[in-house]
Amino acid sequence: MTRVLDVENLRVSFPAARDRVYPVDGVSFSLDRGETLALVGESGCGKSLTSLALLRLVPPPGRVEEGSTIRLGDTDVLALRGEALRRIRGRRIGMVFQDPMTSLNPVFTVGDQIAEGVRAHFPVSRGEARRRALELLREVGIPDPTARLDAYPHQLSGGMRQRVMIAIALSAEPEILVADEPTTALDVTVQAQILEVLDRLRDRRGMAVLLITHDLGIVAGRADRVAVMYAGQIVEEAPTAALFARPSHPYTQGLFASVPRITGPVERLSPIGGSVPPPGAWPSGCRFRPRCPQAFDKSETMPPLLPVGPGHRMRCWLAERGDGGAG
């Protein structure tokens, strides 16, 4: 396995009333070639900001803090400036954004927008860029791609637009594809198609995929590993099968309990009480403590990521008792 992305102790800060707040606070993960890592969490947990930080696109006045590391192969992303930074955007990491309705420029045809990505990174002629755009449209499964090349975004459905977004993200042939809630804005039936396109492309091109979602349902059978985020931190990380078999962190258990199950006995859903506190209002110690049904005295100190099983770690002192997953 080739390591393509290494993120260590990523911290993103924003200025607040008095000092700075850290919506992303010490996130570490890595991605291998051909692998899908799902980053799961509620809105406001810092998962989108994490993905933007990978390309140094954190909107000002936010910034990535000293001591964070983002390595793309042997490129130190945080040391790049100007032109060098632009060369990795799109080329090393391609991004698919959440809302296909606003992620395409309304005044250009989809062919132009895909070709723009090609021409931004490769010295090819207009005609060649257009030919590649056509190929990409075909690759993401758009019917009648020749006609669609000259369509404007508003002439396409949401699912089609998201396919176009994927084609744009692929236009510079990146080794990593970051998909930030790629299906949230789409109908359920279209969701499945888009996810299939992503899976197929990953397998064919050997890309690594970082799938950011709040939906555990789309993670199963698709991601190799899952990282669950809460309040700016990764609270549990595990191979997908292990996580589904034995969700260990009380927050992860809460997430599973709030999703209806199709198989098994009909049970009352138990949502997690309260909501993610905003950055700056995080409690000391374990950040899930105020909402946690299993909090105990030790939760008042921040737990590190503790081993639960092979490749399976969680940020909870319950791991020491060896009874994680009992709940």
Q: Which is nearer to another protein, 13 or 171 (CB)?
A: 171
Bridge-based pairing state of the strands 93-96 and 176-180: parallel
CB of 87 to another protein, least distance (A): 7
Amino acid at the residue 260: P
Q: Which is nearer to another protein, 139 or 237 (CB)?
A: 139
Q: Which is nearer to another protein, 102 or 146 (CB)?
A: 102
CB of 37 to another protein, least distance (A): 19
Q: Which is nearer to another protein, 108 or 256 (CB)?
A: 108
Question: What distance in Å separates the CA atoms of residue 114 and residue 133, rounded to the nearest whole number?
Answer: 6
Helix (H, G, I), strand (E, B) or coil at 164: helix
CB of 238 to another protein, least distance (A): 29
Do 118 and 132 touch, CB atoms closer than 8 A?
Answer: yes
Sign of the Cα pseudo-torsion (39, 214, 236, 317, in order):
positive
Closest CA to 261 of 247, 274, 275: 247
Cβ atoms within 10 Å, residue 73: 12
Q: Which is nearer to another protein, 116 or 224 (CB)?
A: 116
CB of 200 to another protein, least distance (A): 22
CB of 176 to another protein, least distance (A): 12
CB of 86 to another protein, least distance (A): 4
| Plot region of 168 (φ>0 → left; ψ -120 to 50 → alpha; else → beta) | alpha
Q: Which is nearer to another protein, 107 or 281 (CB)?
A: 107
Closest CA to 302 of 101, 26, 24: 26
Structure tokens at 40: 């799961």
Q: Which is nearer to another protein, 102 or 157 (CB)?
A: 102
In the structure, how many helices (H) and strands (E) does the chain have?
A: 10, 13
CB of 101 to another protein, least distance (A): 9
CB of 128 to another protein, least distance (A): 18
Whether the bond between 239 and the residue before it is cis, its omega within 30 degrees of 0, is no
Q: Which is nearer to another protein, 157 or 270 (CB)?
A: 157
Do 265 and 286 touch, CB atoms closer than 8 A?
Answer: no
Bridge-based pairing state of the strands 75-76 and 93-96: unpaired
DSSP at 89: B
Structure tokens at 176: 């990593």
Q: Which is nearer to another protein, 57 or 241 (CB)?
A: 57
Q: Which residues contact 105 (CB under 8 A, 6 or more apart)?
A: 113, 153
CB of 262 to another protein, least distance (A): 33
Question: What distance in Å separates the CA atoms of residue 171 and residue 175, rounded to the nearest whole number?
Answer: 11
Chain residues binding another protein by CB under 8 A are 52, 55, 57, 60, 86-91, 93-95, 97-99, 102-108, 116-117, 120-121, 152, 165, 168-169, 171-172
